């Protein structure tokens, strides 16, 4: 029993360590405001729209380089933003299948809660879809997770049991009730938005 728990603990730690390679810290001015994930090794980064807001944005990579970021796309309704940094062969995160998630599946949220860099939180999926009583009836799809998200987790990756990106951590609805934007929604956002960069007013979220 203890050997199994130790092995599982080691495997979870390895998954988190691998995902941290593609994790970035997003800053507006000199203030750390959230996280992001490197989607493509050519420098494409995804995060929440409420994380980037408006103004000059820089990102700090896992190798501690800090680079200016350019806006590529922004959608306040989906709470998603795409950024670009001039860097080649940066470590990107593998993509999972958010539509294959089921209640009870293990997930890990990674980010910078309260400025604590590269923190990881373990939890399980509560549900996936658009039918959430606590959310406005907008038809938007979410991943509901039983784990704690804090300011600084926003924009960071939610990974599955194989270390693949299944969502972007977005908000906390209760003490252990987090919400993430599914990766299939992010794919659609990038497909529809890239090439027509949009900059809209920023919502006020933590």
Q: What is the CATH number of the domain that holds 81?
A: 2.40.10.10
Q: For residue 200, what pLDDT is reported?
A: 37
**Residue 154 catalytic?**
yes
Interval 195-206 mean pLDDT: 36
Q: Are residues 23 and 83 both part of a single domain?
A: yes
Interval 126-135 mean pLDDT: 78
User: 25 in a domain, yes or no?
Assistant: yes
Q: Are residues 114 and 52 both part of a single domain?
A: no
Q: Are residues 104 and 168 both part of a single domain?
A: yes
**Residue 79 catalytic?**
yes
Q: Model pTM?
A: 0.87
**DSSP-derived secondary structure letter, 202:** P
Which range of residues forms the domain containing residue 86? Answer: 15-92
Q: Pick the catalytic residue from 79, 92, 184, 193.
A: 79
Interval 150-168 mean pLDDT: 95
**Residue 50 catalytic?**
yes
Q: For residue 70, what pLDDT is reported?
A: 94
191 vs 8, 117, 147, 155, 184, CA distance in Å? 36, 30, 30, 19, 11
> In total, how many domains does the chain have?
2
Give the Cβ contact number of residue 79 at 10 Å. Answer: 24
Residue after which a domain boundary falls, among 92, 108, 137? 92
Interval 63-78 mean pLDDT: 94
Q: Pick the catalytic residue from 22, 32, 37, 50.
A: 50
Q: Are residues 88 and 105 both part of a single domain?
A: no
User: 113 in a domain, yes or no?
Assistant: yes
**For residue 56, with 0-12 CB atoms within 10 Å meaning exposed, 13-18 middle and 19 or more buried, which class applies?**
exposed
> Which contiguous run of DSSP H or E holds residue 58?
strand 57-60
User: 196 in a domain, yes or no?
Assistant: no
User: 172 in a domain, yes or no?
Assistant: yes
Q: Pick the catalytic residue from 22, 32, 154, 193.
A: 154
Q: Are residues 85 and 142 both part of a single domain?
A: no
């Amino acid at each position: 029993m203890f050997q199994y728990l130790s092995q599982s603990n080691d495997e979870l730690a390895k998954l988190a360590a691998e995902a941290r390679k593609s994790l970035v810290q997003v800053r507006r001015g000199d203030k750390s405001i959230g996280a992001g994930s490197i989607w493509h090794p050519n420098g494409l980064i995804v995060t929440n729209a409420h994380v980037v807001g408006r103004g000059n944005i820089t990102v700090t990579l896992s190798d501690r380089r800090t680079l200016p970021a350019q806006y590529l796309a922004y959608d306040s309704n989906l709470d998603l933003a795409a950024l670009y940094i001039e860097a080649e062969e940066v470590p990107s995160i593998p993509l999972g299948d958010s539509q294959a998630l089921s209640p009870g599946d293990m997930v890990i949220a990674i980010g910078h809660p309260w400025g604590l860099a590269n923190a990881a939180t373990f939890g399980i999926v509560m549900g996936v879809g658009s039918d959430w009583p606590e959310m406005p009836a907008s038809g938007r799809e979410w991943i509901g997770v039983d784990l704690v998200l804090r300011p600084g987790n926003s924009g960071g990756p939610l990974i599955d049991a194989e270390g693949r990106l299944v969502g972007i951590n977005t908000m906390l609805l209760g003490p252990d009730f987090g919400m993430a934007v599914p990766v299939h929604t992010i794919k659609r956002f990038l497909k529809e938005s890239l090439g027509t960069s949009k900059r809209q007013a920023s919502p006020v979220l933590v």
